[in-house]
A and B are shown apart, each in its own frame.
Chain A
């Protein structure tokens, strides 16, 4: 079974600075998807960014980018120019390409933005 680990329960960063959230995972599959979801206090789960394992190029979405290291099974999220609206819980998630379509989530990292 696949597992996802986020080793940082909490992180904080100054507004406008850059922060990196860590995620590692365990799987025997060669093809899969990885995601970062944001959950603000409203509790809505919002997709931030996704990465297909077969792609070597790291995904980017505006201020958000990932560092995908397949051999190390590492998938970190970098937030540049942090904004107050980035404050939220961030969840790393894994999903198989075929078979079970469920998302396997890490425990989450609470990100605080200091003004």
Chain B
């Protein structure tokens, strides 16, 4: 049963601490997305990768957030230093894109609920 996995499922930390969230996309998928869900902003894209290269990270605060794909089976989202306003659910999603277009579904992981005190 192929699925996107994310760790940790929940994370509580104190302001100023570094937070790393991990995502394992579905094997064979070449596109990975990071979304953030908050009550005020709803679901918004932070960054996405295709074939491990970042294509769009315009939604991500550059001073404290960083996203990487060390290899095809792992995507990471790091916040350093974390702030209370970063409290949210962070979703990873993966999909398969061929050529310039894609009509394929994005499969979502279960999300990481981050609470920054």
Contact = CB atoms under 8 A, between A and B. Distances in A.
A106 B42 contact: yes
Interface string A86-109: 000001000001101111111110
A43 B42 contact: no
B105 A45 contact: no
B106 A103 contact: yes
Contact of A52 (B33, B89, B103): B103
Residue in B42, B43, B50 whose Cβ sees the most chain A Cβ within 10 Å = B43
B101 A43 contact: no
B45 interface: yes
Nearest to B59: A102
A101 B110 contact: no
Interface string A45-74: 111001010000000000000000000000
A44 B106 CA distance: 13
Interface residues of A, number: 21
Contacts of B91: 45
Interface in B87-105: 89, 91, 93, 95, 97, 100-103, 105
Interface residues of B, number: 26
B42 A102 contact: no
Contacts of B44: 105
Contact of B48 (A50, A101, A107): A101
B43 A50 contact: no
A42 B10 CA distance: 12
A91 B43 contact: yes
A97 to B, nearest CB: 5
Contacts of A108: 42
B32 to A, nearest CB: 11
5 contacts: A43-B110, A43-B111, A43-B113, A101-B48, A103-B35
Interface of B: 31, 33, 35, 42-45, 48, 50, 55-56, 89, 91, 93, 95, 97, 100-103, 105-106, 108, 110-111, 113
- Cβ-closest 5 pairs across A and B: A45-B108, A105-B43, A102-B45, A98-B101, A107-B42
